[in-house]
Structure 1
Amino acid sequence: MGNFFKRHFKIITAMIAVLLFIQIPVTYAANLSDLKSKQQQVEQQKKELNSQINQKSSAIKSNESKQKQLLAQIDKLIDQISKTNQEIKQVENEIGQANQEIAALKEKIEALQKKIDERNALLEERARALQANGSVSFLDVLLGANSFVDFIDRFSAVNTLIDADRQIIREQKEDQKQLEDQKVVLENTKRKLEEKQNQLKNLKASLDSQKQEKNKLIAELEKEQQKLLSEKKLLEKQYSEYLEISQDLENQIAELQRQQLSKAQSSGNLPVSSSGFMKPTNGVLTSGYGWRNLGYGPEFHYGVDLANRAGTPVLASADGVVTYASALSTYGNVIMVTHNINGQIYTTLYAHLRAFNVGVGDVVKQGQQIGEMGATGRATGPHLHFEVHIGTWRGQKAGVQNPLNYISL
């Protein structure tokens, strides 16, 4: 909640600042000093807004990354849930098959037990008959025999019949035991299958719960993403408004420079030269005129960059009068010199300076030191950014020329 209010407090503060600039027209600025002061404030606001926009962009990118990770995890969970459902179905089929086999065994056991019971009843009946008749039956068998051999044959026949019955009973009991053992095995198998079924159902419930939780996180991230996009859009709108204010200030600075140039011309302070331009500093060309990409998107480079160590002298490229000497947007510290060469008005711009050696209104000679090389403004290292414009400076695009058409390296 605290972060929420902090974010919105910054946005509201930026909006109030924009409104204040809009409500106090920059045309009320009395002089170049006022314009410079306001421009510095605007550039600071632009810098802060740009930083906030970058933070929002980073947060949006991070949010998108989290959503992608969660979606990948959800896809994995869906696959696991599908696989678990298939395993549950397979186990249920196996349990059903085991139940059928157990039921069939039960029927066999019952049928076999019935036969055993019937055979036991028959044997018991025979045993009771033999016991009731006792020796009489034995004597009958003995006395009824025609000979001793006949007696042995009769006695063996009775014993054989009894032994046969007993063998059948033993085999039936063995079959019954085997069926009982099979039934125990099947019941154990069924129990294990049921345990596995329960484990799979618990796993599925856990997977479903995880999926619901991740869907909830996705919904929260999507809501946060909408808020971030909305806040970024608002910041970009504010930045656009500051750009318009900045452009208005640049136009007014250019107008004041034109007025100063007009005064210089009318008073004879603007020297007339026919010698052309010279290289403004001792440095290596690191970036030419035209389109380039420094890692944050393509941009048009309106001059040339000459790199050397900080403090390297920066020289006036031609005779002229200083019409600007102050900070200017991403250029950092800037000097502008206006020239009259063979009747044509030019303005040269020297940016990213560490120090000034001249001020507005000073008349300078070609080769005179006007400043020192530095890395102020948007710069990755000490260098001089040098531009040539036809006419007075009215912004980057107005009358801009390729400096290499005017100087030799």
Structure 2
Amino acid sequence: MHFRFLYKRVVAVFLVGLFFASSIIWPDLSYGKSDNEVKLNGVKSSIEAKRKAAKEKIDELKRKEKIEINKLYISQRKLEATKNDIEYCSVKLHTAKSKLTVLESQLSNISYEQNISARRAGERIKQIYKGERISILHLIFAAHDINTFLDRVYYQQRLADHDKKLLQDLRLKTRRLVNAKQDIEYQKNSIVSTIGVMNQKKSQITSSISVSQYMISKLRTDRSTYEAAEKELARQSQSIASMIGKSSRRSSIRTTTDFLRPVSGMISSPFGWRRHPIFGSRSFHSGVDIAGKNRSPIRASNTGEVVFTGWYGGYGKVVIVNHGKYKGTSTSTLYAHLSSTAVSVGQEVKQGQTVGYEGSTGYSTGPHLHFEVRLEGKPTNPLNYIP
């Protein structure tokens, strides 16, 4: 729309200029052809200069729009990376909380043992200092022989050593108590730090979402960008068809089992003509959209060979699997808008094997799987093949 508006303005300026130029040229026709030719060539040169300037301006706008689309892709990728960071922080937070629970349990046990040790030591001290133990003289006169006396002295010494050991244990457990408290404080600080990181990540996500929403709004109103995107997707679709065709001709795979649903969820957008969820115009939907939980495992619909993995324009992250001949026809499946892939090119996959994880990369308004079934490289309705 911006291009058309600019073009109309250029044409309008040209027409106005031509109108005024004609008012100068036509009265001079009777004075000779050569002067009029000079003036017409001058007008033509002026028009060509304006057309060149308009084209340069349109090319500049196209370049800026391409840059903005690339920024949208970058924003989406950063958003995915930020979500992964938040998941990592959540794991760290859970781990810190678990350690804190263990330390609190240890602190409670140490405190209990400390109280028992203190009470026992106190009882021993009372016995010593209140004279409840048998005195040395009493031990001497009460003993029937020297062996009895020595035995009593030995056991008395054992009791004293035991008291000393209790006091040492008390001091050791006290130190353990202090260390445990320090560990708990460290864990608390770590949790606070983790929460701070998570809040920063949330702010980054909010900012990324705002940028993405702005870019989506711009794409909806910019018809030329929409047309370029649709043409690019059509070219990519043809490229995929060619890629699959070449792979099918080389492949000796034969598929005999029926296809399974690659992920659980409702069909949010069917196969065929529809109004595009981002651009708002009617376009042909070459697959079905299945709405599931974000990062849900995506299963191979059937046995086959991976012929493509990676970023593919508006499709985002993609996996394409060639299933060889199915009921006599070269068949393949495409899994798009993935958050990440789990297979590589040339790898043979079994039916039900995880090939990637659900996401929202490329031209997407939220987490879902775009799933295609292609016969001889051409899209067909997947609901004719999956339950």
- TM-score of Structure 1 vs Structure 2, range by shorter chain: 0.3 to 0.5
Using CA pairs under 8 Å that are at least 6 residues apart, name the structure with larger relative contact order, 1 or 2: 1
Using structure 1 for the length normalisation, give the TM-score: 0.43
Over alpha carbons, which structure has the higher Rg? 1
Task: Return the TM-score normalized by structure 2.
Answer: 0.45
